[in-house]
Amino acid sequence: MSLVDEVRSFNRFYTRAIGLLERHLPASDLSLPEARVIYEIAQRRCTAAEIGRLLDMDKAHLSRIVGRLRARGLVASKVSPEHGRHLLLSLTPTGTAAFAAMEDGTREAIAALLRDVDAGSRQRLGAALRDIRAAFGEAGNSAPPVLRPLGVGDVGWIIHRQARLYHEDYGWDWTYEALVARILADYVAGFDPAREDGWIAERDGRILGSVFLMKSEEPQTGRLRLLYVEPEARGLGLGHRLVETCIDRARALGYRRLTLWTNDILLAARRIYQAKGFRLVDEAPHHSFGHDLVGQTWILDL
């Protein structure tokens, strides 16, 4: 099935699931277009032109809807103090009561729809809905990412995501996945809380990246390893936060220096390391993950 067919199929399902073909919304005699207009007016005082742009609604159609709402005593208008030719729309007390009833009815209907959805599926559903909005260029009102300790299931997820992302971005084969798996298996098996740590970047239950502080054979030298950031979170400064957190923890644990190994094609990561004061001390060509690469060693004196 093509993506176009997938979207059309989802639209048909979604329309049935939440009752978009019903004549009126739950607990309201408002039609869907009327309810959309009422909702926007309830959020702030605005002009009809602003609502039209927000809802991408035809001017004549919107004018008829506003006229009906005004005739029913739900909406009032007054001249804008900032621009005498603009009319600001607002809800009357009757309109406010109608909006409250509509909101309660809609929330109850959605709650009923989700009643039999288990906790894990709810989390996946929320993440999928955020992905859909992000794919169409709407960031939404997500909270900023938080950094947390590793939990059960995180290690397997990091192995999977790093392998997939480096394959998609650079064409690396599954031998890179094996390398990450070995690194993290050794980390878990020999974890030393006095010398090691790890962080997951997460927002709304979705993992956006990670980084690890690992011990080395030299007691005074720690290793920064496996930094990665999901594509959707790039440009938010998250990579800098992860690296800075790792540096701070290395200092707190008494390390004198921090070292890392990377490849020269990982330009975004290299810029972060340079910005944090790491210096390049060695590089050498190698053939790994199905490609000819140039490995680099960087060191930060703490």
Residues 217-233: tens digit of each pLDDT: 999 999 999 999 998 88
Percentage of the residues of the chain whose pLDDT score is greater than 90? 49
pLDDT at 164: 95
**Residue range 30-39, pLDDT digits in tens:** 777 888 888 8
Indicate the pLDDT class of residue 27, thresholds 50, 70 and 90.
low
Specify the pLDDT at position 84.
57
- Per-residue pLDDT averaged across 33-57, rounded? 83
pLDDT score for 209: 95
Tell me what pLDDT residue 278 has: 96
pTM of the model: 0.65
Determine the average pLDDT of the residues in 152-167.
95
From residue 197, alpha-carbon distances to 6, 112, 203 in Å are 42, 43, 20
Rounded mean pLDDT of 236-240? 91
What does the block give as tokens for 15?
């329309």
| Average pLDDT of the residues in 147-160 | 94
Residue 179: pLDDT over 60:
yes
**pLDDT at 53 exceeding the cut of 90:** no
Res 139 pLDDT > 90: no
In percent, how much of the chain has pLDDT > 70?
A: 92
Please give the Cα distance from 147 to 210 (Å, whole number).
9
Between 130 and 200, where is the model more confident? 200
| pLDDT at res. 88 | 83
Which one has a higher pLDDT value, 166 or 124? 166
If we measure between CA atoms, which residue out of 176, 243, 177, 180 comes closest to residue 213?
243
